[in-house]
Every structure is written in structure tokens, then in C-alpha cells.
Structure 1
Amino acid sequence: MSELMDQLRLEGHVRIYAAGERPAPVEHALRMLQRDLETVLGAQPEIVTTLGEAQMVIRLAEEADHCPQRPEAYGYRSSQDGDNVQLHIIGYDELGIVYGILEFTRRYLGIQPFWYWMDQSIERRNKIVIPCENYDSSEAKVRYRGWFVNDEVCLIGWKEPYPPTREVWEPVFEALLRCGGNMVIPGTDLPKDGIHYTLAAEMGLWVTHHHAEPLGAEMFLRAFPGRMASYQQEPELFEQLWQEAINEQKGRKVLWVLSFRGQGDAPFWMNDPSFDTSEKRGAMISKVIRRQYEMIGSAVPDPVCCVALYGEISELYKGGYIDLPEDVIKIWADNGYGKMVSRRHNNLNYRVNALPAADDGGKHGVYYHVTFHDLQASNHLTLYPGPAGLLKQEIEHAFAARAHEYLLVNSGNIRQHVYSLDIMRELWLNGEINAELHLDLFVSSYYSSHHDELAALYRSYAEAAIPYGPNEDDLAGDEYYHHPARQIIGHWLQGKAGTPDSRLIWAVGDVPFAEQVKGFEERLAPGIRKWTEWLARCNEVLAKLEPGDQRRAIDQLRFHGELHLSGCEGFYWLSRAYGEFAAQRYPQAFVFASESLWSYRRGLAALRESEHGKWERFYQADWLTNIESTVHNVDTLRRFIRMFGDSPDFFLWYKAYLMPETEKYIYLENTHRNPLSDDELAERLKQHFTTNKECDSR
């Protein structure tokens, strides 16, 4: 190689030549390349029509390139025409070209996979120097790898149009492609006329399906309202929906999910109780899956099919009640909390191993949650509460058990789960991860300084999480502070406090209701201390950061800690309020309920404060954790408590505790009956009780 070919210097208007026909995925990637070059160099690139005048060439690989002969492979080659040095980005196929382009922008322009979701500060440069060296991509550990954009309510509420438009979905799919992903379930039960499936295919992704929507078909009861959702009674109608789904998608890259669950993601026998044994249930699921498999095979050449062994289907398969076609990919699922065991069903938690047995042949894959929604203790708005080591342990163990053909990660709304998703990126590409080295690289990729201190915050985040049970994955996410709290309020106000709340047995046992509430209080108290200490360390680091890094750290670290601390305190004070109420100390219960309300309001304020710039409205559709609903519930509770002793004039507690002694006997009601607001009364009662040691603050 001559000296001239040692380096390629790009500056100003970069000239790009894209050879041959440009399919839609390549067009999308070219637009990303042009945008990234303009962002870094400050000048818009030019797409040229003559090969000789180009500095960058985008094309399919030729035989002479010796590019790896496998799907999605890519490489870099250099050539020289006179003084003009060219970089060739080559791909074995169209997705290989896409990956080659996006890796170029990461490697040489510094555009990180989650640049959009992390609000990365991208450095402007006068020139880019690229070594003229041949490079070939390595093969990913996992053949089919991607995201299930589930619990996507933030994406729904973020922009006004529904279903979400290109503006919402393009950054999602771009980030997935930048992570080396090639597969997606874009949302759950969104209208079929939305852009999500079309755009995913347009950008080069394989599309797959929710296990509750086999083959991507319309829900039976939505298509045929009022009919019995029973395959036994209505096989023609079910098969009509499946055939319509096959016809609509057969020209795309589809991973066909074969499954049979009931309406609304429940076991099908909930709609058809005649299936009352494991034998009957397994036989019906096997029959339906075989029929779906036959229908796809008759319409699609060499289809890729998979079966989600999720929930009851996993249990039936493990029990030997389900028979599957040999060449389908069997997908094993974690429990929603990152552990490869069966998930908890209400109060039942058998924790059966959810990986293939040594003698279970064929291909296997994994469906894995870094975010979850279960109305119990899952993380939805906040980062996965477990340590990176747990993610590493479970995924590497799954790979060792041969479950590496497929990895679908429940990615939620992307923004809150970037760190966990980046760990999964490393795992599905390389098959293993050095968690400490990865954390150092992650922090240095998105922050400009104080890397060690920021890494320590990410690391210690998991150490602050509340363990609510005996297992290593029993760590509280944000829903722990809200769903059980609202259940307690409902049980209390409905006059059911004389009996346990069966919905809380999973967390605090089948004990009297007062003991259930006390059980939460005892778990929450140390959580307040740990999250307070973590936030204090976080604030110390934030104070040292430049404005861009500080904003990023607030959104990606402090925001999560604030939701934990405010939720933890809110639930703690709610529990204390019940104790005081049960002891008929109603003013004290009113104060504690107010403390609860003020804490939960802080969490709601954190959501609003995080909706800055392009993130305006991002949490408007927080319908799952639903912090605003908790605020309303606790406010209702506080008003209820004030009825006990301060009603009907809502002046009695003021008179009893706050009015000067000399005034109590001479005041005139027509000038002293303006009731204090709930907040003002609570603040003043709190001060009175604290001063007089009538209201223990912890």
C-alpha cells in the first residue's frame, strides 16, 4: 500500500457513491450517514453519480473482496484512483451494508448506539482521519436478536397522533440497528393500520409477534365480537384470521410465532373451561400449533417459525403435554425479573427452571425482560434494579444451555433502560461480557468527565434496591411502591381491613391485614435510608459535571433514584398512616397520609421535570406504574381520614391542637370558621406533634 493510501481524510462536503439499486434499508442508512457526517463536519455530504469522484463508496460485496460469506456480514476496503483515496463500505447483503454504515459512524464519528436516547453531546470536528485498513465484521453470537417494544405507553403518549408515527418509531428502530439488532416486535396490540410494522420492515428488520397474537393475527374477539373465542367451536374463523395475517406479511422478513393463548394474553381455557386437564390443554395447543405451521408452510418458502414457551405453555411443555414440529425455535422466558425461571402467577411462585433440558434437541432461544409490568414489583419507569452481573449470569447460562438462536429483549420505552439494553447488545453480539469493562466503556461513551464516579453510581444503584423476597432477583422496581399501595388503600376504604388482602400474599404473606401493611413498612424503612444515601452521592457527582453531562446524569441516574426514594417514602408513610388510623389516632394518621401524598407528588414532579426539550409529554401516558393515580388515591385517603374527628366543620382539629388556649374560649364562630386546606392543616399539625413528641417521624 502506498503512503497515499495510509489514511483517508474527510472534511467539508464528503462525496458518497452508492452503487446499484438502493433498497429501502440502505436508503435509511444512507440518510443516517449523511446526517451524522453533517453533524460532525458541519457540511452536508453530497451523493455523487460517478464512482471516480467519490470518497466513500457504499456497495454489495464482490467476490474479490473476500467478505465473509454469511448473512449480515460487512467490511471496509480501500482503493485509490490517482490522488483520490476511497473507503468502500461493503456488505454481504442489504442488512450487512446497514450495519457497515452504522459501525462506521460509531467508530469514526463517535455516534453511539443510543445517541438519541441519551442526548449524546456530539463533538464537531474539522476533519476525520480514517486508516486505510481492511476490516471484516465478526459473526454475532445470536442469529435473531432484537427488542419487544412492550409497555410502550410512553411512546403512545409522547406525540399527539395515535398510533405513533414515523417520528416516534424511527429513533427506536435506528437504535436497535445500531445495537446490531435485526428483529423487533414493534408494540403490543397497536392498530393494524399504524406505521410500526411497515417501517420496521422498511428499515431492514425482521418482524415477529407477541405470543398473545400468534402469526400477528387480529384478536378473535375484536374481529368477531360476541362469538365464543374457542378454536374447538370456531376453527374456520380462527384460521381465517391466521390466513389473513399470513397473506399480509408473507412478502416480508418474518419470524412466525406459533402459539395459542386466550384473549387478552391469558390461558385459552379461561374462555373455554371445558379444557380442565393438562392433557386436554396440551393436546389443543399442539393441534393449533401444527395447523398454524402447516398454513405458513403452504404459503411461505422456508419460513422461520418459533414457539414462545411462556407462562402456562412452558409448564405444559415441561410436563410433556405439548408436541412441537422439530424445526421450530423454542423460546424460553425469564420470570420478568431477569431470572430464567417460571414467572410468578399472582401468589404462586414455583420458580421452575426455564431452560432446555440437555436432551431437548432443536434450536432454542430466550425472551428476556429488562423491564416488566405485572402489577406487583416490576420496574417499568426505572432502570432494571438488579446488578449487571445478574444479567450476565443468566444470559451466558442460557447460551451455555444452547438457547442462542434467538434473543428477544423486552425493551419497554428505551429511554429509561439504555444501560441494560447496552449490556444485552454486548451479550447478543459477543456471547459474553466483562461487566466492569463494559460499564467503564459505557460511561466514557456518553459522559465527558468524572467517569469513575459515574460508574460507581451505576454500580451502586442495584445495591440500593429493596429486596422484597429471599431470591437474588427479588428486587423492587417502581411498581412496588404503587400497585400494592393502591391495593391497600382500596382494601382499607372498602371496609375490608378485617380480612387479609389476598392480592398482597406474594409480598407479605397470608396474615391479618394490619400485619400485611406492617410487613411493607418494615421492608420500606431500610429502603428509605439506602435510596437517601444513594441520591446524596448522586447529587455530589452532579454538582461536578458540566451542563450537558449533568442533564444526562439527571435523566439517566437521578431520575431513577428520585422515583425510588419518593415511592419508597410515599408507601412507608401510607403504611404508618394505617397504623395510626387503626389505633384511632386520626389526626396523626392524617399527618402521615399527608407525608405520603407529598412524597408521591415528588415522584410526579420528577416525571414532569424530565419532560424537557424533545422529551416534552414523554410521560403523559404513564398508565402502568401510574404515579398520578397513586397521588389521587392517597389524596382521597387523606380526605377520608379527615372525616374522622374533623368533620363536619373541618375546624375541630385546628381548635383542639393549633388554636391558642386563650382564643379557644372567646373566639366568635363567624370570624374563625374558615377551614385550613388539607396541606396547611397537615403542615401545622406535623409541627405541633413533632414539637410535643406526639408523632414519631420514623
Structure 2
Amino acid sequence: MALQAKDIVEIQMDALEHQGLGLAVNDLIKDLCKVMDIQGIFRKYLSNVKGFSIAVGTLSNPAFSEFLTNREFDFSNIDGKKEHYLIKSTGEEGRQLIIAGSDTRGAIYGIYDFSRSALGVNPLYLWTGHRAAAIESLDFSSISMTDGPHTFSYRGWFINDEDLLLGWTGKFDTNFQNNAFTKHAGYADALEPVMETALRLKQNLLIPCSLLDILDPSDEDLVRRVADRGLLITQHHIEPLGVFPKRVLRYWQERGDTEPLSYTKNPEKYEEVWRLYAGRWARYDNVVWQLGLRGMGDKPVWADDPYAPETDSGRGQLIAGAIAKQLEVITEAVGHNNFASTATLWMEGMELLKGGHLSFPQETMIIHADFGPTQMLGDSFYEVKREPGRQYGLYYHVAFWSDGPHQVQGTLPHKIHYNLQAAVQHGNTGYLVVNVTNVREMLLGTQYTAALGWNFELNQPEQFMQHWAAEHYGQEGCAGAVRAYQAYFAAFHSLDNTGYDGRMLLMDGMCRRLIIKLTAILQGQPFTKDEIQNKTLLAFDQATDFVAYYRKATEEALPKWDVALNVAYQALQGIEKERREFFTTNLLVQLSLIRGLYRAVHQLSNAAESVLAGFKKEEGHVRGPILEAAAELQQAAIIRLHAERGKWKGWYDGDVLLNLPDLIRQINECAGNN
């Protein structure tokens, strides 16, 4: 017998299970209603049911284990494992479906795998708008699924530089540096779909925002929500123990201490604040603690500490000493030493480790990182020696501000696979956290890294891309969509091909820098090399060389963007209407934006060449290209409105990083249009 549409099904879960499992059950009830118009009745106890029912639980719960044993349900193949699940029918005529997890997240993953595999619910449905096709009947007796993580242990996302998510869910300080200190209460509304999607994609770890301050009630609410969902939480690599160094400075300034902050000279000032924050974080048992010692921003500690050592060995000892003290502080706060900790080697940390100047406690997992502007692992990753018995992980970017992808995706699936394969081969499988910025623009890379993190061997890039396109655009639109994404990724100009074709691509954040630099040249300012992580972008001695390079680079790339737009337009015609909205927002809008940025850079380069040759920017043949550049970005801003329909209204209200309106303003001012 099969469950029929519009039937009633009872879903049972013991009341002592984690509330995150109950939230997943509520999602299952909604999925059943949407797909089969079924009324799900949620019972928080386990009992015998004559009709169709679904029993959900964890083997770590004695009541559920006894429930299964009494039904002679064999769960031995997941017993004692982490995050595994088993889905199978039992009872008279297979009317009862069991979703058993070895632990809470295992059961949660089982629920969402059932929704995806049996009901056809897309794990990205909250972002794509696609509804699963209606099902008239479902035979429980034919369902048998079991799985667990195969590759990475910790798997999660870093919601970083989240300007669009903040603006979409409420008003906030448009000076993003100020806003980083305080999230508005509405940000929790953005976090809910992020967490549900993360669990549907079998993630277990989240950094819910940039620079979270757990002493702020609205920020602590985010921590509580992550815990309630059954996810682990960790901290930004520049905020060890959840403390951004600027908050240490502010803490003492509020107490009348205006001395320069220095861990070298006054470690007790840091340690007092560490204890304050660790005590609050210790309320939660789902924390993976971040250790380290960084500067006031995303830079080395010695950039801001006037008393810091000048030698590599001295700097390594300073950081190692701080980490040892942090472990003491955490142990004191939680009351034991059985906690997880990581140290992310971003920028200077990797070089110190490679040189033998930095050491870590054996129980702390070392996290290597890619280089954000390239999304490639550097030489140090391959050269540094691994210690036997130590766990290693990876921090990876599919988004990176300001010299990488932000409002347009740019990390190719092949590049993702290449770098994660290196991580697997070198044993960095303890941890995989991916920077996904505002999530929505990076859904392809976000889903692919999640799939690789769960089971690397089953997710080759070509096959994944075919499956992804079919799942989101249907079988009829699949082939055209794949060609469109291929043409899109092939159109980016490559700034560096060293060791890998397309190592560094010219992304949207880089285009913003170029536009600002070109308008400065047009205003008569001298060309300077800014102090940025991406040294390649401005690696020129003369303004003439800088301008000539980007004029030619964009001249060569623009025909490729035109081809990509044509291929995408043709693909759109083959996609059923109900699925076109996602193709429009995920590809066409982004393609139009990056094409507009390239065209603006090209027009400004033409104008700058004329100015450097001695012409005035007010002359018609110079001012014309400047106005064309503004028009290109204005057109991109208009096209971008297609991504602000329905629930996405106001999506770009928080655009303070790429800041398209500001770029248009600067270009118009350059042209004399005040």
C-alpha cells in the first residue's frame, strides 16, 4: 500500500530529542504538505500507529533505541558513527517509515535527504523559488537509504561581508565598518534560510556573520539560534575566542585607558576581555573555538602593536604564547579541556609555520587557507610539513571581498575541485569552512563545496554541473544552461595563469578598484600602488602602463562577454517558465553586472589614455567615454532590479561594498555631471 495525496500521516519524535530535530520535522511537515497536500500531525512521543506514520529519532536517545529494538529494526550499520542516518520502512505492509540518526545531525540529514530523494524538494528551494512537482502517491516500502559523511569532518560556511543580507532584512549603518560592531535584530530573519539550507546540504558548522559580538543581545540571539538548529558554531579567524581586537581597544577606552593596545607590553588587557567573552560563549556546548592573535583588522598583530617583536621567531613565540593563554581561559570558562579548537593560518600564520617559527598545542586543529583573490592554495600549503597525529583543515573562498567574487560568482567548479582535491590528498580533511558572503550569488559554488565536503569521490565537476543544471533548470533546459555557465566562466580576463590556467580572474571587487583608480587619474591625481593583498592588480610602475594594460584586457574580454550573453539568452528560451527566474538572477543578472563593469573599465581606460596624452577630460572625445562608463553601470543597476522581485525586494539596499550607486556618482562627477 502507498501513502496517497491528501492523506493524514502521523510523525513521531520523542520529546527528549534535541529541538533542532523538531525543527527539521516541522520542515518535513511543510514539504509533505507542499508536495502531496498531506496533513502531518506531529506527536512528541513514540507509539504504535495503525495508519501511515514516520518515526524520527537518534540512537543516542534510549527511548528511540528501545522503540527500534522492539520492532526488530536493525540499526547496527550506523550505531556508534557520527552523523549517519538510516531510512527504511517497517511494520504492517511497510506503513511506518523510520528515519534513524546515529546522532542529532544524522537524523536531521536523514529527514532532509528523504525530502530531496523521495519528495523531490530542492535543497536550495528557499533561494531558487522552484517548487517540487506534485506527487500523488508514495510507497514507503520501496524506500531504503543510508549515508554518512565520507570526506570532511567539520563542514560549514562563513557568512562574511554580508552587506546584502543586512540591507535586505532591515536598515543599518551604511558605513560597513561601523555596522560590523552591531547587527540589527532583523538579521536573524536572514539567518533562518541560511541555516535550513546548510542542513539540507549536510553542513554542520556555521560562522553566522562577520564580527559577532556575543555580549550584544541581538548577536547572542544568533548564537542561540544556531545552537537550537543543531549546528555547531565557530568564530571568524580575526576574532579569537569571539573577540575582535578593536573590541579590546574599545573596552579599555570606555574605562578611560587611552594607551596604545599591545599584547606584547600588556597581555593582561587582552586576557581580561578574553575571559569576559569566553564566559559568555561557554554557555553553549556547540562551540568550535578559534585561537590566534591578529591585528585590528585582517592583518598581522605587529601591524598595530608598536612593541611587537621584529623577528619571525619572536613573532611566532608571541602568537604561540597567546594561544596557550587562550586555551587556559577556555578551560577555565567551560570547566574542562575536552573542547574543539582551531587556528586558521591566514596570511602571516602560514609563513611563520612554514619557517618553523610557530607551533600549536597538539589538540588544536591547524586550518590552512587559500589566497582569496585567486581561490587557490599557495606554495606554503604544499611545502609546510604535517605533524603525525595532528588534524588539519581548510578555509576556502567562493567569495572574497574586495579582490574576489562578491556580487558575481567567479570560482569555477573545476577550480574548486582542484583545490579541495589537494586538501584531501594532503590530509586536510578535518575541517572545511567556505566563505560564501551573502550566499545568494554563490549558490553554485556553495552547493558544490558542500557536496565535495560530504563525499569528494562522488562529485566530479563535469557530472556535478550536469546534475546541478538538471535539478535547477529541468532536463529540457539542462544542456543549454551548462553551455551558458561555461561561456560565462570562460569570459573572465585572467590576470595570472601561473601554475593553473585562470589562476586569478578579474572579478567585480577588482573592477571597483580599477574604476576608482581610473577616475583618480582622470582627475589629475598621480598613479599609486595601494596597500592591498592583491599585488597583481596594480603591479605597474607607470600610469600609462596601468591604463594600457586594462584597456587591452577589457578590449579582449568584451567580445567574450557578448558571446556569453548570447549563449545565456539562447539557454533561457529552453528553460520552462517556472524555472526562468532563478536562471535570470543566478546568471543573467550577474553576467550583465560584470559585463557592465568591464565595459566601464574599458571606457574609462580609453578616456584616461587621452588625458595622459595631454588632452583635457572636458573635451568631447574624452568626456564621451566617461559618460559611456556611467551609462554602462546605470544599465547594470537597472538590470539588477530583476533580482529584487517578490520576497527579494530590497536585496541591493545594503550594497555598500561594491556600491554601484557610488561608482556611478564618482564617474558622473568626473565627467562634470554633479
Shorter chain as denominator, the TM-score bin is 0.7 to 0.9
More displaced stretch, 186-195 vs 150-159: 186-195
1:158 match: 168
1:123 equivalent to 2:133? Answer: yes
Structure 1 531/521 Cα, relative in aligned 2: closer, same or farther at 3 Å? same
1:172 equivalent to 2:194? Answer: yes
Residue 404 of structure 1 aligns to a residue whose secondary structure is coil
Alpha-carbon distance in 2 for matches of 1:332, 1:488: 35
How far off its partner does 1:77 sit? 2.8
2:448 match: 423
- Pick one of 14, 24, 29 that aligns with 2:24: 29
1:76 match: 87
Alpha-carbon distance in 2 for matches of 1:508, 1:132: 60
Question: In the TM superposition, what are the counterparts of 1:371-382 in structure 2 within 5 Å?
Answer: 371-374=399-402, 376=403, 378-382=404-408
Q: Give the letter aligned to residue 32 of structure 1.
A: D
Alpha-carbon distance in 2 for matches of 1:620, 1:561: 20
Alpha-carbon distance in 1 for matches of 2:528, 2:189: 48
1:672 match: none
How far off its partner does 1:434 sit? 1.4
How far off its partner does 1:10 sit? 6.2
Residue 390 of structure 1 aligns to a residue whose secondary structure is helix
Alpha-carbon distance in 2 for matches of 1:67, 1:10: 33
2:377 match: 341
Question: In the TM superposition, what are the counterparts of 1:244-643 in structure 2 within 5 Å?
Answer: 244-250=276-282, 251-274=284-307, 275-298=309-332, 299-342=335-378, 352-353=380-381, 356-357=384-385, 362-374=390-402, 376=403, 378-384=404-410, 386-432=411-457, 433-448=459-474, 449-471=476-498, 472-493=502-523, 495-497=524-526, 499-501=527-529, 506-507=536-537, 509-582=539-612, 583-584=614-615, 586-639=619-672
Residue 140 of structure 2 aligns to a residue whose secondary structure is strand
Larger Rg: 1
How far off its partner does 1:629 sit? 1.3
CA contact (8 A) 1:206 1:255 kept: yes
Q: Give the letter aligned to residue 160 of structure 2.
A: N
1:345 match: none
How far off its partner does 1:398 sit? 1.0
CA contact (8 A) 2:170 2:187 kept: no
Q: Give the letter aligned to residue 351 of structure 2.
A: E
Structure 1 491/287 Cα, relative in aligned 2: closer, same or farther at 3 Å? farther
Structure 1 355/364 Cα, relative in aligned 2: closer, same or farther at 3 Å? farther
How far off its partner does 1:458 sit? 1.7
How far off its partner does 1:522 sit? 0.9
Alpha-carbon distance in 1 for matches of 2:286, 2:358: 27
Q: Give the letter aligned to residue 331 of structure 1.
A: I
Question: In the TM superposition, what are the counterparts of 1:671-690 in structure 2 within 5 Å?
Answer: none
Residue 507 of structure 1 aligns to a residue whose secondary structure is coil
More displaced stretch, 249-258 vs 203-212: 249-258
How far off its partner does 1:208 sit? 0.5
Residue 26 of structure 2 aligns to a residue whose secondary structure is helix
How far off its partner does 1:84 sit? 7.0
Alpha-carbon distance in 2 for matches of 1:164, 1:46: 31
2:181 match: none
More displaced stretch, 49-58 vs 437-446: 49-58
More displaced stretch, 365-374 vs 538-547: 538-547
Alpha-carbon distance in 1 for matches of 2:587, 2:472: 13
Residue 372 of structure 1 aligns to a residue whose secondary structure is coil
Aligned length: 622
Alpha-carbon distance in 1 for matches of 2:197, 2:133: 19
Q: Give the letter aligned to residue 309 of structure 1.
A: L
CA contact (8 A) 2:473 2:575 kept: no
How far off its partner does 1:145 sit? 0.7
How far off its partner does 1:206 sit? 0.7
Structure 1 220/549 Cα, relative in aligned 2: closer, same or farther at 3 Å? same
How far off its partner does 1:503 sit? 6.0
TM-score, structure 2 as length reference? 0.88
CA contact (8 A) 2:584 2:642 kept: no
- 1:604-647 deviation digits (Å, cap 9, x = unpaired): 2233231111111111111122211111110111107xxxxxxx
How far off its partner does 1:313 sit? 1.3
Structure 1 71/451 Cα, relative in aligned 2: closer, same or farther at 3 Å? same
Structure 1 479/424 Cα, relative in aligned 2: closer, same or farther at 3 Å? same
Residue 368 of structure 2 aligns to a residue whose secondary structure is strand
More displaced stretch, 45-54 vs 473-482: 45-54
Question: In the TM superposition, what are the counterparts of 1:77-226 in structure 2 within 5 Å?
Answer: 77-81=88-92, 85-160=95-170, 162-192=184-214, 193=217, 194=219, 195-217=221-243, 219-225=247-253, 226=258
Alpha-carbon distance in 2 for matches of 1:13, 1:481: 55
Alpha-carbon distance in 2 for matches of 1:540, 1:134: 40
Alpha-carbon distance in 2 for matches of 1:50, 1:285: 52
Structure 1 287/480 Cα, relative in aligned 2: closer, same or farther at 3 Å? same
1:655 match: none
- Pick one of 31, 35, 45 that aligns with 1:40: 35
Structure 1 607/489 Cα, relative in aligned 2: closer, same or farther at 3 Å? same
Structure 1 232/387 Cα, relative in aligned 2: closer, same or farther at 3 Å? closer
Residue 180 of structure 1 aligns to a residue whose secondary structure is coil
TM-score, structure 1 as length reference? 0.85
Alpha-carbon distance in 2 for matches of 1:308, 1:411: 17
- 1:457-496 deviation digits (Å, cap 9, x = unpaired): 1222221111123333211111122112112223442x33
Alpha-carbon distance in 2 for matches of 1:14, 1:236: 60
How far off its partner does 1:113 sit? 1.7
How far off its partner does 1:15 sit? 1.7
Q: Give the letter aligned to residue 168 of structure 1.
A: A
More displaced stretch, 169-178 vs 47-56: 47-56
1:16 equivalent to 2:43? Answer: no
Alpha-carbon distance in 2 for matches of 1:294, 1:50: 44
Structure 1 220/355 Cα, relative in aligned 2: closer, same or farther at 3 Å? farther
Alpha-carbon distance in 2 for matches of 1:50, 1:500: 70
- 1:41-86 deviation digits (Å, cap 9, x = unpaired): 22431124562225111122326522412121111132214x6710
User: What's the C-alpha RMSD, in Å, of the aligned pairs?
Assistant: 2.2
CA contact (8 A) 2:368 2:381 kept: no
- 1:269-291 deviation digits (Å, cap 9, x = unpaired): 12223322212211100100111
1:660 match: none
Structure 1 131/383 Cα, relative in aligned 2: closer, same or farther at 3 Å? farther
How far off its partner does 1:121 sit? 2.7
What percentage of aligned pairs have identical amino acids?
23
How far off its partner does 1:253 sit? 1.0
